[in-house]
Amino acid sequence: MCDAGIRMSLGTDSVASNNVIDMFEEMREAIFMQRARTGLFNALDAASVFRMATLGGAECLGLSQHLGSLEAGKRADFVVVDLDDPALHPIYDPIQTMVYSACRKNVRETYIAGESVRPDPSPLIQAVKEIGRGLRGLRGF
């Protein structure tokens, strides 16, 4: 499809199709599936799959003038990935490290339109935390 000039993107939609909703896992899966399908180690590389997960998605949505890359005049939607995690070392190339080794737990900040955002946990999550705290006080837990 890439050779035919078809725009390619990568994403995750909901827990209906996967339980983790982790773009890092999606990028790895795309690479490994192409390796398995073609029998070629270099069927899809980290830089290509990273582009599919960023600018490629914006292109497929017809929004590449506004989203998908950090450029003057575009929205600054991005995450900050902490590469100091010892599990990610050694780092030879930051893109390869993010694609092959990082996970959602390595995301430290999220920015939408250049503004730092911190999602507010839902009341349900707060209720579950309270139940967990209560259970820790019981014997045997």
Q: Domain residue spans in the chain?
A: 23-136
Residues of the chain with pLDDT under 50: 141
pLDDT at 6: 86
Q: What is the pTM of this model?
A: 0.78
pLDDT at 7: 87
Sheet containing strand 78-81, strands side by side: 78-81, 107-112, 115-117
CATH of domain 23-136: 2.30.40
Report DSSP state, residue 119.
Answer: P
Q: Which is nearest to 75 in space by CA: 93, 88, 63, 57?
A: 63
Provide the terminal-to-terminal Cα distance of the chain, rounded to the nearest Å: 54
CA distance 61 to 119: 24
* Per-residue pLDDT reduced to its tens digit, 22-51: 899 999 999 999 999 999 999 999 999 999
Q: Which is nearest to 79 in space by CA: 38, 112, 121?
A: 112
Cα dihedral 7/83/70/60 (nearest 10): 20
